[in-house]
Structure 1
Amino acid sequence: MAERRVKVESEVGLHARPAALFVQAASKAGGEVTVAKGDGAAVSAKSILAVMGLGVRQGDEIVLTADGDGAEELLDRLTEIANES
């Protein structure tokens, strides 16, 4: 299982459009993909309600995990989305 800690640079955090892009990217993965805010409980990164429910804002740290083939590449893409303006 791959894991990455990311400081969210996006001005709007993971809300609305960025959250939708984040979930779309995570949903393409065959394995489990989770996201947690800081050291909080992890939720499915494939659920828009779960991701938006975290209330991730600019400057927050999130912890991403993914398993399966292409896990590192998926984490790269999710990191890009979290840091887009």
Structure 2
Amino acid sequence: MIKQSVRINKKAGLYAKPVNQLVQTASEFNADIYLIYNDRRVNVKSVLGILSLAIPNQSEVTIEASGEDEKEALKNIIHFLES
């Protein structure tokens, strides 16, 4: 398992369209991927889970990945959140 903190760089934070794109990105990997924000941990492959966190722009979150392609998954998720 690997983890890394990242600052969200999405104009409106993580809402609707960016969440859907994030879930699509995460679904390309076999690894289990979680997003941790304010002591809550949700599966990054769950639209409702991420939306329930209501994460605003410039928030710091932690991404946690475990599985055969965890490094590639973490790299891609972080790239998405920072761009």
The TM-score with structure 2 as length reference comes to 0.89
Query: Whose strand fraction is larger, Structure 1's or Structure 2's?
Result: 2
Within 5 Å, give how 1:5-84 maps onto structure 2: 5-38=5-38, 40-84=39-83
**What percentage of residue pairs aligned between the two structures are identical?**
24
**Letter matched to residue 15 of structure 1:** Y
Rounded Cα–Cα distance in structure 1 between residues aligned with 2:34 and 2:12: 20
RMSD after superposition? 1.3
The CA deviation at 1:37 is: 1.1
Q: Read off the aligned partner of 1:23 and give its amino acid letter.
A: V
4+ aligned runs moved over 4 Å, structure 1 = none
**Which residue identity is paired with 2:3?**
E
TM-score by length of 1: 0.87
SS of match in other structure, 1:4: strand
- For 1:44 and 1:29, locate their aligned partners in 2 and report how far apart those are by CA, in whole Å: 13
Secondary structure of the residue aligned to 1:42 is strand
**How many residue pairs end up in the alignment?**
83
Gaps of 5+ in 2: none
